[in-house]
Chains A and B, each alone.
Chain A
Amino acid sequence: MISLPSYLMLSAVMFIIGVCGVIARRNAIIVFMSIELMLNSVNLSLVTFSAFLGNATGQIFVFFVMTLAAAEAAVGLAIVIALFRRKQTLNLDEINILKW
């Protein structure tokens, strides 16, 4: 049987890869996709626990996370489109109007 720590380790690794993507890439779309990656790793973690503990609450939670991820992706991409229209670039280093 596959042990609990294996799943969790996998989830952790995927999460870390998502973090790296968020920090290190300049393209806004890629950053978004890294965020989706992070969300998915958390989903995995939730489902794992739900299965091992025999409690369905984890899976319900995953359901809601997915819904939210969809909504967030929609709105976030709308923002990206609006931003691109303004500045003609998706390079996050150049979007720094909030600088002191």
Chain B
Amino acid sequence: MFLYAPYIIFFPLIGFLFLGLFGSRLKNETLIGTIGSATVGFSFLLSSAIFVQMLGVEEIQRRQTVEVFTWLSTFTGSTTSLNVSVAYQIDQLSILMALIVTGVGFLIHVYSIGYMHGDKGFWRFFTYLNLFIFAMLNLILADNFLLMFLGWEGVGLCSYLLIGFWYEKKFTGDAAKKAFIVNRIGDFGFLLGMFLIFQTFGSLNFETVFNSATNISIGNTTITIMTLLLFLGATGKSAQVPLYVWLPDAMAGPTPVSALIHAATMVTAGVYMVARCSILFALSPFTMEVVASIGALTAIFAATIGLVQNDIKKVLAYSTISQLGYMFLAMGVAAFSAGIFHLMTHAFFKALLFLGSGAVIHAMHDEQDIQKMGGLKKYLPVTYWTFFIGAIAIAGIPPFAGFFSKDEILWKAFSSEHGSWILWLIGLSGALLTAFYMFRLVTLTFDGEPRFSIKQDGHLPHEAPKTMTIPLIILAVLSVIGGFAGVPHASVIEHWLDPVFAPANEKLFMAEHSFEWMEIVLMVVSVAVALAGIWAARKIYLERTEIADAFKKKFHPLYELLLHKYKIDELYQEAIVSPIQKGSEKILWKGVDIRLIDGAVNSTGRVVQWCSQTFRVVQTGVVQFYAVIFVGGIVAVLAWILFHM
């Protein structure tokens, strides 16, 4: 069964090619949607089959590689030879990621059939989605850095294509460009990291690199630089400080795109990469500290911005950035499986929340400002209940999924030798804010009295079609039960992923923690904090909204700062983007391009013209002149013969 692994990636590729070539001619939306979803569905089935097979097999044998073909091969016989093949590695981590990607991806494809109904680029949407799944699977299942980078860049490309899907509007194009360019900065770090890896280890293959890495001692400078560069790539792709600015703008794309790419899959690529290279990160305590700090910082930073946003999707975007911060925090304190566990639960409830918001936007005829919503509970029951479940999950209330994963992270941040209570405190504050803004969102959107005119075009807001609500329900169920995979001290996930992180854990001398009372205490604290946040939000926004207004007036400068996202975008524009643009225009365009290069080309032409004009005087048309030249030639030749030979 393992040998069929490449087909996981192959199906979406076929879908992409088929829809790309023939999609514009197919008029039947259902057909296009079915093809697009079916390919991802098949990938999911195949991944599940392989997963089941892995369960029945011994631990050692769970890691296998299947090679499809050799990609690059430069044999120079020495360490400078580069040998890269398109080969896929199935192990516990990658199959788990593949299940998440294909499973959630499948649900979102089905949802899109309903959401994108009537759009004139329907076939294009599914083409791009399939391409995205293809690239993402390449990233996850690759067995070497170069193939992973191919997938990395591929998802970046698809992100650009999908954010800018409605390309007629200018701001979507700008958002797409911003996403791609900011990603590129991160990719630059990734590339440099790859170069360094190749130079140090002589290969880009995961197995080779990681096996050699086990022999290196902790604190090696090269490894530190290497991992910092790789982490730079991760910050770009996974929207951490300072490269997170593209994610809020990316909400300009259709909601299924936000759900799939910017919640469940693409942004987790950075987390996956850090997890995959866990041994390298383990060798560098400094980088681990950096990772944890940036994760914690991002978590609280984004949460503060999310508090005051009024666009339903922007709140969710900042929430995503914040939750990704938690995942990196986990990685930084060497709780690798906890981070991956949170990745999984986050995929469930964040996708659910996004899809739910899509249903709301669909019902409200593309209105996204929550200040103009309210009271939708009556009209959109299914959406309301699934959204509510998602919100509870993300707030971290047991026994829903988010509680187990977030709590694991907070506990490890507190207790691990690489964590500290400061990190725990920051994480806890983030959790409080998370609960608060999520329920602010829920309350303002669904509860209370409607703040809009109910009858729009004579219709009441109505529930979304089945293709949209069924995925919502499925994801809601997963958000409820998904947490039980990671019950502390009986964590199925941790046990499953242990072999993958074993080399890293060995290096870090992570011992198996026994049961401690502190753990229970912290658990109670975090649940209390979450409940407090939820209660405060409901109180303020449901009953006594004047408190919110009072706060707004009293802390007006702070409010403005948060509303405008700490003006980071403006800062970047002034400090980085503007100088580069102006410099390019004045120096590179006017100076180099026009004067130098065009000048060189034009000069060549002019030189040729000048030469020909100078030389054509010889053509006088008078024969005697030619005879003179003859004689001159004879003189010269004779002279040469006589005096040089």
* Co-assembled chains A and B: yes
Q: Which of A23, A31, A96 contacts B620 (CB 8 A)?
A: A96
Is there contact, CB below 8 Å, between B628 and A99? no
The residue on B at minimum CB distance from A97 is B621
A9 at the interface (CB under 8 A from B): no
B514 at the interface (CB under 8 A from A): no
Supply 19 further A-B pairs (C-beta < 8 A) apart from A22-B627, A97-B621: A19-B631, A22-B624, A23-B624, A23-B627, A23-B631, A92-B623, A93-B622, A93-B624, A95-B622, A95-B623, A98-B619, A98-B621, A99-B619, A99-B620, A99-B621, A99-B622, A100-B616, A100-B619, A100-B621
Interface residues of A in 46-100 (CB under 8 A from B): 92-93, 95-100
Interface residues of A in 1-33 (CB under 8 A from B): 19, 22-23, 31
Q: Which of B616, B617, B624, B628 contacts A92 (CB 8 A)?
A: B624
Is there contact, CB below 8 Å, between B622 and A96? yes
Instruction: State the CA gap A22–B627 with chains docked (Å).
Output: 8
B510 to chain A, nearest CB (A): 89
B249 to chain A, nearest CB (A): 64
Instruction: State the CA gap A38–B278 with chains docked (Å).
Output: 96
Instruction: State the CA gap A20–B619 with chains docked (Å).
Output: 21
Chain B interface residues toward A at CB < 8 A = 616-617, 619-624, 627-628, 631
Instruction: State the CA gap A24–B624 with chains docked (Å).
Output: 8
Given contacts A22-B627, A23-B627, A23-B631, contact A92 B619 (CB under 8 A): no
Instruction: State the CA gap A19–B624 with chains docked (Å).
Output: 10
Given contacts A19-B631, A23-B631, contact A96 B624 (CB under 8 A): no
CB<8 Å pairs between A and B, sample of 25: A19-B631, A22-B624, A22-B627, A23-B624, A23-B627, A23-B628, A23-B631, A31-B624, A92-B622, A92-B623, A93-B622, A93-B624, A95-B621, A95-B623, A96-B620, A96-B621, A96-B622, A97-B621, A98-B619, A99-B619, A99-B620, A99-B622, A100-B616, A100-B619, A100-B621
Instruction: State the CA gap A96–B616 with chains docked (Å).
Output: 14
B608 to chain A, nearest CB (A): 16
Instruction: State the CA gap A95–B227 with chains docked (Å).
Output: 84
Residues on A with beta carbons closer than 8 Å to the beta carbon of B623: 92, 95
Residues on A with beta carbons closer than 8 Å to the beta carbon of B628: 23
The residue on A at minimum CB distance from B617 is A100
B614 to chain A, nearest CB (A): 12
Residues on A with beta carbons closer than 8 Å to the beta carbon of B631: 19, 23
Residues on A with beta carbons closer than 8 Å to the beta carbon of B620: 96, 99
A4 to chain B, nearest CB (A): 18
A20 to chain B, nearest CB (A): 9
Residues on A with beta carbons closer than 8 Å to the beta carbon of B621: 95-100
B474 to chain A, nearest CB (A): 85
The residue on B at minimum CB distance from A92 is B624
The residue on B at minimum CB distance from A19 is B631
Residues on B with beta carbons closer than 8 Å to the beta carbon of A98: 619, 621
Residues on B with beta carbons closer than 8 Å to the beta carbon of A99: 619-622
A87 to chain B, nearest CB (A): 13
The residue on A at minimum CB distance from B619 is A100
Instruction: State the CA gap A98–B627 with chains docked (Å).
Output: 15
B272 to chain A, nearest CB (A): 73
The residue on A at minimum CB distance from B634 is A19
Instruction: State the CA gap A95–B627 with chains docked (Å).
Output: 15
A23 to chain B, nearest CB (A): 5
Residues on A with beta carbons closer than 8 Å to the beta carbon of B627: 22-23
Instruction: State the CA gap A86–B624 with chains docked (Å).
Output: 20
A29 to chain B, nearest CB (A): 14
A82 to chain B, nearest CB (A): 16
- Which 9 residue pairs across A and B have the least CB separation, nearest first? A99-B621, A96-B621, A98-B621, A100-B619, A100-B616, A96-B622, A22-B627, A23-B628, A23-B627
Residues on B with beta carbons closer than 8 Å to the beta carbon of A96: 620-622
B622 to chain A, nearest CB (A): 5
Instruction: State the CA gap A93–B619 with chains docked (Å).
Output: 13
A25 to chain B, nearest CB (A): 8
B609 to chain A, nearest CB (A): 14
A41 to chain B, nearest CB (A): 14
Instruction: State the CA gap A23–B627 with chains docked (Å).
Output: 6
The residue on A at minimum CB distance from B618 is A100
Residues on A with beta carbons closer than 8 Å to the beta carbon of B616: 100
A5 to chain B, nearest CB (A): 16
B210 to chain A, nearest CB (A): 75
A55 to chain B, nearest CB (A): 24
Residues on A with beta carbons closer than 8 Å to the beta carbon of B622: 92-93, 95-96, 99
